[in-house]
Amino acid sequence: MRPRHGGGRAAAALAVAVLTLVPACRGGDGGAGDDAAGAGRAGDAAAADPPDARDDRSNAVADTELTDIDDMTDEEVAAEAYVAGYPLVVTVRTLQRLGGLLGVNQLIWQRSLAGPDSRTIVAPNRDTLYSVAVLDLRSGPVALTLPAVTDRYFTYQLLDAWTESFAYVGTRTTGGRAGTWVISPPGWNGDVSEGAEHIQATTPQVFLLGRFLVDDEADVAEVTAIGERAALQPLSALTGGDPAPPPPAPGAPAGTPQDVPADAGFFDELGDALAVNPPTTDLQRRLFCAAVAYRPAQRGHSLRYRGLDAERSHAWVEG
């Protein structure tokens, strides 16, 4: 599937994507964050830490290391689960919004640079064109194919549903060479096409965020030409296998990413999100398993209420 270029509704949605994703992704490529498109700026790592290497991170969990979860009160467990689950709920709302506007597993390209009148994003990069996709790997792996890009800095950052960067493709990690990178869901162990490289995602839902350095307005056409030669398509399109059915529809978000509820209803939404994107660290698993049994004062709300149940949480603990 050839990438689409931003225009009309797609352009507006791309702006929303950059507005929502870039602040969360700053510093994700070796400390450079969104400024990484500039010449000589810090770069990225071919693959971020695997899930088990991130287990000792607090991630979104509050300052305590939660070494004694069993000794915590229900209120303390609920508070920690809220903080830990907040990034996931924000991500899913963003994914649902963008997936509804752009579609999933489609690469969208920005076609013009931001200027002084740009207001959709508070502080857009003047020297960057963005390329964005919402990936839903529940339907199977997708393949990102890029031409050689050796005349400018660029990076594709892959973020899981917990806002953790788990891999990069770009100037500093892959040398700007042409290639195909197969992005698969967690646990997938099939065969990739010959010559392709395998990137295993840490959650089934992923954001793909590309940044390309642009010198000036006259240079925009060069990046546009890169986009014309890039592709994001199902793996079956490369291997000749039977096409997989499309992933489930993103669904309508419960609200904006900026308006996440601070009451017990939050746990309904979190339970649904966890059913699709399970925890990626042992600390998260322990905390959410403890929260499964939690029932706030507003009866009927808990992680067990919808997407998450005791059987699923037991499976997490057992591995």
pLDDT, tens digit, 9 for 90 and up, residues 109-139: 999 987 777 665 556 788 999 999 999 999 9
Q: What is the mean pLDDT of the chain?
A: 79
Q: Does 116 fall in a domain?
A: yes
Q: Which pLDDT does position 164 carry in this prediction?
A: 96
Q: Which residues pair with 179 in a beta bridge?
A: 146
Whether residue 169 sits in one domain with residue 29: yes
8-22, 48-62, 263-277: segment of lowest average pLDDT? 48-62
Q: Does 248 fall in a domain?
A: no
Q: Which pLDDT does position 68 carry in this prediction?
A: 79
Beta pairing, strands 128-136 & 108-109: antiparallel
Whether residue 199 sits in one domain with residue 110: yes
Whether residue 289 sits in one domain with residue 143: no
CATH code of 164's domain: 2.60.40.1610
Q: Which residues pair with 169 in a beta bridge?
A: 156
13-22, 50-59, 90-99, 141-150: segment of lowest average pLDDT? 50-59
147-174 mean pLDDT: 97
At residue 212, the 3 state secondary structure works out as strand
Whether the predicted pLDDT of 158 surpasses 80: yes
Whether residue 107 sits in one domain with residue 33: yes
Whether residue 225 sits in one domain with residue 111: yes
Percent of the chain at pLDDT above 90? 51
Whether residue 14 sits in one domain with residue 60: no
Q: In what order do the strands lie in the sheet with 142-146?
A: 197-200, 179-184, 142-146, 231-234
Q: Does 243 fall in a domain?
A: no
274-299 mean pLDDT: 76
22-26, 108-112, 228-232: segment of lowest average pLDDT? 22-26
Q: Which pLDDT does position 15 carry in this prediction?
A: 57
DSSP-derived secondary structure for 268-291: HHHHHHHHHS--SSHHHHHHHHHH
Taking the C-alpha atoms of residue 6 and residue 299, their distance in angstroms, rounded to an integer, is: 46
Domain containing 299: what range?
A: 52-95+257-318
Please name the helix (run of DSSP H) or strand (run of DSSP E) that holds residue 79, with its range, or none.
helix 74-102
Q: Which positions ≥6 away from 19 have C-beta within 8 Å? A: 120, 121, 122
Does residue 191 contact residue 237 with C-beta atoms inside 8 Å? no
Taking the C-alpha atoms of residue 235 and residue 242, their distance in angstroms, rounded to an integer, is: 10
Whether residue 283 sits in one domain with residue 139: no
Give the total number of structural domains in the chain. 2
Taking CA atoms, 200 is separated from 137, 171, 197, in Å, by 10, 20, 10
303 confidence band (pLDDT: 50, 70, 90) = low
At residue 230, the 3 state secondary structure works out as coil
Greater pLDDT, 243 or 300:
243
Whether the predicted pLDDT of 304 surpasses 80: no
Number of H helices and number of E strands within the chain?
A: 8, 10
Whether residue 222 sits in one domain with residue 135: yes
Q: What is the per-residue pLDDT across 176-228, written as a single tens digit (0 to 9) for each?
A: 999 999 999 999 999 998 999 999 999 999 999 999 999 999 999 999 999 99
Chain-centre distance for alpha carbon 230: 20
Whether residue 24 sits in one domain with residue 126: yes
Taking the C-alpha atoms of residue 274 and residue 302, their distance in angstroms, rounded to an integer, is: 12
Most confident range (mean pLDDT) of 76-80, 173-177, 263-267 is 173-177
Q: Does 250 fall in a domain?
A: no
Whether the model pTM is above 0.85: no
Q: What are phi and psi of 254, to 5 degrees?
A: -70, -15
247 confidence band (pLDDT: 50, 70, 90) = very high
Q: Which positions ≥6 away from 216 have C-beta within 8 Å? A: none
Whether residue 150 sits in one domain with residue 298: no
Q: Which positions ≥6 away from 93 have C-beta within 8 Å? A: 253, 254, 255, 256, 257, 260
Select from 238, 268, 300 the last residue of a domain: 238
Whether residue 165 sits in one domain with residue 42: yes
Beta pairing, strands 205-213 & 128-136: antiparallel
Taking CA atoms, 190 is separated from 20, 133, 141, 183, 184, in Å, by 33, 23, 9, 11, 9
Q: Does 303 fall in a domain?
A: yes
Whether residue 301 sits in one domain with residue 286: yes
